[in-house]
Amino acid sequence: MRRRDRNGPRVLVVGGGFAGLSALNVLANANVQVTLVDRNIYSTFQPLLYQVATAGLTSSDVAYPLWSVTRKTRALFRKGELTALDLDKRVARLADGAELPYDYLIIATGVSANFYGVTGAKEHSLSLYTRRDAIALRNRLLREFERRAAGETGPGLDITMVGGGATGVETAGTIAEVRNIALPASFPDVDRSKIRVRLIEMAPALLTPYKERERDYARQQLVDRGVDVFLNTTIKEIGPDTVTLADGSTHRSDLTVWTAGIEAPAAEWNAALPRAHAGRIDVGPDLRVTGQERVFAVGDVSVTGDKPLPQLAQPAIQQGRHAGRQIRRLLAGQPTEPFSYHDKGIMATIGRRSAVVELPSGIKLRGTLAWLAWLALHMIYLLGGRNRVVTLVNLSWRYLTWSRGGGLIVGDDVPDQD
């Protein structure tokens, strides 16, 4: 392996998700010193968090150590939380007080839940963006089952998912399957007929980016699993054990999961950067932050004014790669190029042997074939051989044994990091 020129220009990448890591790959052979900063020592594979949240995977199955990536890409890894940016002096400050100077900066810090100002949503619902969120949801779900098994509460359990995008659909579908298939064997004293799973969506359909047939399929699949689907329904308020709708009606909800929207939260470090819809950083066609020559923003955290891309793995991967390439061009004295997104299609799962796939060629898949395609792609995109093997084993174990008491993984507690 060629040694990196320690005197080369310094590139700082903040955020070790899909976008940040693909930038690192492109910069691996450039004559630059790359440092990756992340608040965690691992990258989280968000698309499978719902499996952690429903006890099908362990949290380490979806976490990959960042030093493994920096070793392969000849970068340095620094664990830390970005807290401030001095754009004039080109210095990033971390929560522990460290100052990291840079010549080029790539911001790839992702997003978190957007509660849209709904009263009580932040306090009384759980969200699903980090490993910590997924473990908290799983522990809460299992505790609710346990309490009913021990007769500590009445038998009823109402679970509400707020938001009918991919995360809401897959979480609702899988919780319903846990209730239908795993519960009789794992918690035989719990009356599953008293456990209600509902999904509330303010739009007239679930999975709005999909074609009508796929949306209808997803809704029907949830209904078939016993999920109560409410469309055209807006949440006004969330209480400790209630949800109140815009029509004023209040419904019991022992466990409310917020899967309705995302934002790039305001922080001291992004206060001086131009921010657009949902707080995302406004970038120009080449993905440089508007008004900045040496700062790129990529992935979920960024948005181009005229054409917002979906907040998915592919745009993040392609944008990270593009930013890395533009830095190489700038260092070679070449002008930057505009980013162009290559649409590879979209897919979402509803539950076991149930998914929808739409490819740009017009091909659409539903059912088992779509589910197998979804599963295969997720295995490919998971970082790390160990992660792929254990995920495949754990998911196979889940789906083969959960009617016999297997397939519910317990054990690890809430980690002290996201």
Q: Which is nearer to ligand FAD, 267 or 390 (by Cβ)? A: 267
Check 170, 177, 201, 358 and give the catalytic one. 170
Nearest partner of 266 among 254, 274, 258, judged by Cα: 274
Shortest distance in whole angstroms from residue 44 CB to ligand FAD:
6
Residues 6+ away with beta carbon under 8 Å from 62: 44, 45, 46, 48, 49, 51, 52, 131, 134, 382, 387, 391
Question: Where are the alpha helices (H) located in 187-266, listed in sequence order?
Answer: 212-224
Q: Which is nearer to ligand FAD, 14 or 121 (by Cβ)? A: 14
Shortest distance in whole angstroms from residue 335 CB to ligand FAD:
25
Q: Residue 81 catalytic? A: no
Residues within the interface to ligand FAD (CB under 6 A): 14-20, 37-40, 43-44, 46-47, 49-50, 81-82, 108-110, 128-129, 166-167, 299-301, 311-314, 316, 418
Shortest distance in whole angstroms from residue 96 CB to ligand FAD:
11
Nearest partner of 20 among 418, 334, 296, judged by Cα: 296
Contact 22, 68 (CB under 8 A): no
In 3-state terms, what secondary structure has residue 43?
strand
In 3-state terms, what secondary structure has residue 127?
strand
Q: Which is nearer to ligand FAD, 243 or 356 (by Cβ)? A: 356
Shortest distance in whole angstroms from residue 249 CB to ligand FAD:
28
Shortest distance in whole angstroms from residue 82 CB to ligand FAD:
4
Q: Is 55 left (phi over 0), alpha (psi -120 to 50) or beta?
A: left
Q: Which is nearer to ligand FAD, 157 or 303 (by Cβ)? A: 303
- Report the DSSP pairing between strands 250-252 and 242-245: antiparallel
Q: Which is nearer to ligand FAD, 157 or 313 (by Cβ)? A: 313
Q: List residues with catalytic annotation.
A: 170
